[in-house]
Structure 1
Amino acid sequence: MDHPYRAGRFVQQTTGYKAFIPAPLPPEPPLTYSGELQSLLSDADRNIGRLDALASMLPNPDLFVAMYVRHEAVLSSQIEGTQSTLEDVLAFEADALRDDTPKDVEEVVNYVRAMNHGLNRLPDLPLSLRLLREIHAELMKGVRGGEKSPGEFRTSQNWIGGRGSSLRDASFIPPPPHEVMNVLGQLEKFLHAERTQVPLLIRCGLAHAQFETIHPFLDGNGRVGRLLITLILCEEKALSRPLLYLSLFLKKHRAEYYDRLTAIRMQGHWEQWLMFFLRGVSATALAATQTAKDIVAMRDAHRSEVAKNAKALTLLDHLFRYPTVSVNNVCKLMNCTFPTAAKLIANFESRGWLQELTGHERNRLWRYQPYLNLFARDNIAT
């Protein structure tokens, strides 16, 4: 059933356009937990629980978390139009920029820093407008859009539309600037007040959609809104580590994603949006669980091959955190000579673990290709 004003209403502004002002959460009339919605919620809860249980059993799970964070940064940024790949980010971090490295790689690196900042701040600062502003400041520092008030909620009108669109032909106009702090305050109140009344994953889905509707920054709203989902799950201890990211699912279903958000605003279709969102959570959790299992299996297999070589074991652990290395990197890591480091890299290369990237005689760079292959695949069920 349509409820045109359930999610809010379009309000005529003095300058002639209509902007959407969202109603406070949770929705009214209240959500209807139909059989399908309830079933999808149960599945998503179970799949999140399995992912977190596996993460708690991983040996040195923090070795892998950094790669999950980078992978999400790449995917989330690609949704916003960046061209950089995971390999570009790793090369950037290893100070090995190539001539063909996309200029927007710094945007992805900023996303990694912004995400880590938010996760590191959660133990001391509850999820709040202040934390979202801090995350946004890290995200936009010194990159495209960096002139658009990093870390500050907007004080001018923005809109959503195709390239070159204006307020006159925008596909959606978020709240006017004088309403932004009011509707953000309502969202913050919902995040803190509804923890017992609204199931956690429903709260994540409602909060993400509301944040995207408010569009409180001049740039970077999509990335911060997607990160908000993971921050809620980590703050609520549903995930002990940040291993769930929806960007690949949303990228694959981009048209439906935008259609579902539009249907919330136009017809009040919260339940249909939540069913889409929960399908994404389940598919993403199942894929992340499989990836984690495959990482552990590969790590065990590779470690068993070099079990008697302490330096090789140290290098393997390093590669799970930083999969791109040079001989100089290994020298510093092992506190060893250049020939010793080169011999160790050659050993890994002969096993098919390291792949040389540059083709040069000097300043060569290798990456842990079998590991990166696990992140490059698309194992999310449609």
Structure 2
Amino acid sequence: MRRADFAAPQCAHLVRTVGGGVAFLPPPLPPGISYAGALVRLLSAAERALGELAGVGDALPSPHLFTRALVRREAVLSSRIEGTQATLSELVLFEIERPGAHSGDVQEVANYVTAMEYLLGPGRDAPTGLWLLREAHHILLTGVRGETVRPVQFRTSQNWLGSTAGDIEEASYVPPPPELVRDCLDAFEHSLQRRHDLPPLLEIACLHYQFEAIHPFHDGNGRVGRLLVALLLVEWGLLPGPILDFSEYIERHRQEYYDRLLAVSTTGDWAGWLTFFLEAVGTQARDVLRRARALRELRDDYRSRVTGVRSSSLLPRLVDALFETPALTINSARDVLSVTHRAATLNIEKLVEIGLLVEVAPTGRQRRFLADGVVRVVNGEAGSPKRVAHPTLHAPGTTTS
């Protein structure tokens, strides 16, 4: 990174770092933002889309079931931005097999889900601050690559971004030197807890930029920064749960995302970054709204198909479980239903028979079943799950005359 890469006003925020290079010291928030015209229209559209999504979330018959499914989608996409290759199907199958199963990439995604649940879990007394982000970072790196880089600690060496040759001079961005990281983070935490006179969405966008510009950890900064967005959307009352998969938009527009963040540092272009952020929020809120409605319709359809007078009274409970974790083993079905192994097997086989579950290749001695229709809707894949023709339902373990 070179001084010549920065507009004259931004050069005031450059400091010396290792090897005689320069690093950027992001100034404290809030920036002097003048928002009007197109930015105001984007803000209104994004707020309206979030309001509609929040309304659908509150109206769902079992909101927590759908929240879990959508959180997993965000976990897959946020981790994919960092190079992790895992699918939603792999994640849910991994979750029902633990602790015996192990896969580095899938474990990273599972850690993201755990970190999200920790951030938004009950019983937290202290306000959101650096301590919480450190704990989330620790969860993200537990048992995976990067675990050896001292999770929970802020970095003690200089890092940089965008240099394929590993040369700091060729880096596209060099965050603050390690000896200044704590001062930057203290200012960040002050802004996080104090709030300003900006609309909440703009403030969240500013905080996300500031965290990424500081880049306080040795690894995992991008994931923690995106967790922060999800956390604040819920904590500040914009959504009832972490149901906005912000990372899907970033994954589709990855280079523009990096360019917009960088331009704030190099040229002070806040308008470009805020425009990108608001477009991302509005686009994803509308997309998740469609998927939430599709999930509700799919759940109603599935329940209607298992509530025949001669079907097992346990099947609706098993159907509901599929919208929280769209995969089952015999053991997990037994736990959901509080029944014997044989009864769990019979109920699962009934769902296979009518096309709500498919059996996938086992690992070891465990039979595994996937609700691929639920997975497709959560993923936003085109087309509705095919309705499978089925005979009149009868209770598992009985026969028709």
Partners in 2 of 1:127 and 1:213 — Cα distance?
19
| Aligned partners of 2:18 and 2:158 also within 8 Å | no
Match in the other structure for 2:15: 11
Partner amino acid, structure 2, of 1:177:
P
8 A contact 1:250–1:257 mirrored in 2: yes
In 1, the alpha carbon distance for the partners of 2:46 and 2:128 equals 22
The aligned counterpart of 1:321 is 324
Structure 1 range deviating more: 183-192 or 291-300: 183-192
Retained in 1: the 8 A contact 2:104–2:144?
no
TM-score (norm 1): 0.92
| Alpha-carbon distance in structure 2 between the residues aligned to 1:175 and 1:326 | 48
Structure 2 CA distance for partners of 1:106 and 1:362, relative to 1, 3 Å: closer
Query: Counterpart in 2 of 1:223?
Result: 223
Aligned equivalents of 2:280 and 2:185: distance in 1? Answer: 25
Of 298-307 and 355-364, more deviation after overlay is shown by 355-364
Partner of 2:162: 161
Give the C-alpha shift of residue 96 in structure 1. 7.0
For 1:71, the aligned partner's letter is R
Query: 1:328 and 1:239 mapped to 2: Cα distance?
Result: 34
Cα distance change of structure 1 residues 375 and 199 upon mapping to structure 2, 3 Å threshold: same
| Aligned residue number for residue 187 of structure 1 | 188
**Matched residues, number:** 374
User: Structure 2 CA distance, aligned partners of 1:187 and 1:19?
Assistant: 18
Query: Could you tell me which residue of structure 2 aligns to residue 357 of structure 1?
Result: 360
- State the alpha-carbon separation in 1 of the partners of residues 263 and 68 from structure 2: 36
The answer for the alignment partner of 1:257 in structure 2 is: 257
Q: Distance in 2 between matches of 1:202 and 1:97?
A: 41
Identity %: 40
Q: Could you say what secondary structure the match of 2:9 adopts? A: coil
CA distance in structure 2 between the partners assigned to 1:166 and 1:185 by the alignment: 29
Mapped to 2, the partners of 1:378 and 1:365 lie a distance apart of 23
Letter in 2 for 1:313: P
Tell me the secondary structure at the aligned position of residue 56 of structure 1.
helix
Counterpart of 1:5 in structure 2: which amino acid?
A: P
Deviation, 1:152, is: 1.1
Once structures 1 and 2 are overlaid, which stretch shifts more, 9-18 or 125-134? 9-18
Post-superposition shift, 1:15?
3.2
Which deviates more, 343-352 or 360-369?
Answer: 360-369
Q: Which moved more, 1:85-94 or 1:117-126?
A: 117-126
Aligned to 1:340: 343
How far off is 1:111 after superposition?
1.1
Residue range with higher mean Cα deviation, 9-18 or 223-232: 9-18
Which stretch shifts more, 139-148 or 119-128? 119-128
Paired residues of 2:244 and 2:284 also in contact (CA < 8 A): yes
Larger deviation, residues 6-15 vs 367-376 = 6-15
Q: What's the CA shift for 1:245? A: 2.6
| CA deviation string 1:261-317 (max 9, x = no partner) | 111111100011101110000001101111111111111111122224321011111
> Which region of structure 1 is more displaced relative to structure 2, 14-23 or 161-170?
161-170
Determine the C-alpha separation between the residues in 2 that align with 1:358 and 1:152. 41
Which runs of structure 2 are paired with 1:225-244 in the superposition (5 Å)? 225-244=225-244
Distance in 1 between residues matched to 2:132 and 2:337, nearest whole Å: 38
Instruction: Classify 1:164/1:6 alpha carbon distance in 2 versus 1 (closer, same or farther; 3 Å).
Output: closer
Deviates most, 171-180 or 359-368: 359-368
Q: Which moved more, 1:245-254 or 1:341-350?
A: 341-350
Work out which of the two has the higher radius of gyration on C-alpha atoms and give 1 or 2: 2
Q: Report 1:258-337 matches (<5 A).
A: 258-307=258-307, 308=309, 309-337=312-340
Which residue pairs with 1:79 in the alignment?
81
Counterpart CA distance in 2 for 1:260 and 1:132 is 24
1:92-241 alignment runs, 5 A limit:
92-95=94-97, 102-120=103-121, 123-195=124-196, 197-241=197-241
In structure 1, the residue matched to 2:376 is: 373
What amino acid is aligned across from residue 346 of structure 2 in structure 1? K
User: Which secondary structure does the structure 2 equivalent of 1:188 belong to?
Assistant: helix
Query: CA, structure 1 residues 127+7, in 2 after alignment: closer, same or farther (shift >3 Å)?
Result: farther
Residues 223 and 146 of structure 1: is their aligned pair in 2 closer, same or farther, counting only changes over 3 Å?
Answer: same
Residue of 24, 28, 33 corresponding to 2:35: 33
1: distance between equivalents of 2:117 and 2:258? 27
1:189-215 deviation per Cα after TM superposition (whole angstroms, max 9, x unaligned): 1122234x1110000111111111100
Q: CA deviation at 1:341?
A: 2.5
Give the Cα–Cα distance (whole angstroms) in 2 for the partners of residues 268 and 146 of structure 1: 34
Helix, strand or coil for the counterpart of 1:150? coil
Aligned residue for 1:358, secondary structure, equals strand
Look up the SS of the partner of 2:14 in the other structure. Answer: strand
Instruction: Give the match's secondary structure for 2:15.
Output: strand
In the alignment, which residue of structure 1 is the partner of 2:72? 70
Distance 1:130 1:63, change over 3 A: same
Do the aligned partners of 1:96 and 1:365 also contact (CA within 8 Å) in 2? no
Cα pair distance change 1:339/1:121, threshold 3 Å: closer
Matched, 1:20 2:24: yes
Amino acid at match of 2:370: R
In 2, the alpha carbon distance for the partners of 1:250 and 1:296 equals: 26
> Which stretch shows the higher mean deviation, 306-315 or 17-26?
306-315
Deviates more, 1:113-122 or 1:235-244: 113-122
Report if aligned partners of 1:63, 1:321 keep a CA contact under 8 Å in 2: yes
- Which deviates the most, 357-366 or 272-281? 357-366
For the 8 Å contact 1:156–1:176, the answer to whether it is kept is yes
Instruction: Indicate the SS of the match to 2:358.
Output: strand
- For structure 1, list consecutive stretches of 5 or more residues without a partner in the other structure: none
CA RMSD of aligned residues (A): 2.2
